[in-house]
Amino acid sequence: SIRFGQRGNALDFQVYGWSKPESEWTWIEGTRACLSFDLNDSTDDIWVCINVHPMLVDGYQRLSVTVNDVMVGTHRFLDDRWTNVCMLIPNNLICDKMATKMIFQAHSATKPNDTDVRRLSLQVTDVCIYQWSQLQTEVMSKTRKFDDEFYIQKYPDVIDYLSENNQYTPYDHYL
């Protein structure tokens, strides 16, 4: 993961377009910023989640993300709150011999107040990067809090269904 702010590691990955780190985040200064990082050893698709807060201009902000010059995601912000924006990066966009270049493009930037001369668009706290197959396994293990025994006790007719369909579990039946 890439962590922004004064205690983060983001400076190692920032190429251009980033403001000086603040306590817990870093602003995109202007409308365009770039990160560069190495994903060479990945043979899987990549799932990226960006924790971001917009500077709304005319009531909205828009974020577009490209990876190695290919658009991988967009998000339109209509309210002033922190949001996790997640997107899939197909493995074919990751080059074996080159660093991965991720560009953030905002719709617009503005001065936050009369005393700050910077034109800002988005605050970023984290860019979390996961291998898709690893993420699926982790999510399933963390979210599977289904009680098979309770479900069978509450719905005893499920036993007949399960005996006819050996490959299914009570959770499968529930879904």
Query: What are the structure tokens assigned to 130, written together?
Result: 């996961």
CA distance 20 to 37: 19
- Please report which residue ranges of the chain form alpha helices under DSSP H: 132-143, 148-154, 158-164, 170-174
Please give the residue that has the higher pLDDT: either 94 or 119: 119
Task: State yes or no: pLDDT of 2 exceeds 80.
Answer: yes
Query: What is the distance, to the nearest Å, from the Cα of residue 49 to the centroid of all Cα atoms in its chain?
Result: 1
Confidence band (pLDDT; 50, 70, 90) for 174? Answer: low
Task: State yes or no: pLDDT of 32 exceeds 90.
Answer: yes
For residue 174, the SS3 value is: helix
Query: What are the structure tokens assigned to 56, written together?
Result: 């709304």
Residue matched to tokens 């290919």: 70
How large is the average pLDDT for residues 120-133? Answer: 89
Residue among 64, 55, 33 at smallest CA distance from 110: 55
Task: State yes or no: pLDDT of 105 exceeds 70.
Answer: yes
Chain mean pLDDT for the chain = 84
Please give the residue that has the higher pLDDT: either 63 or 99: 63
pTM: 0.74
pLDDT at 41: 63
Confidence band (pLDDT; 50, 70, 90) for 101? Answer: very high
Please give the residue that has the higher pLDDT: either 152 or 91: 91
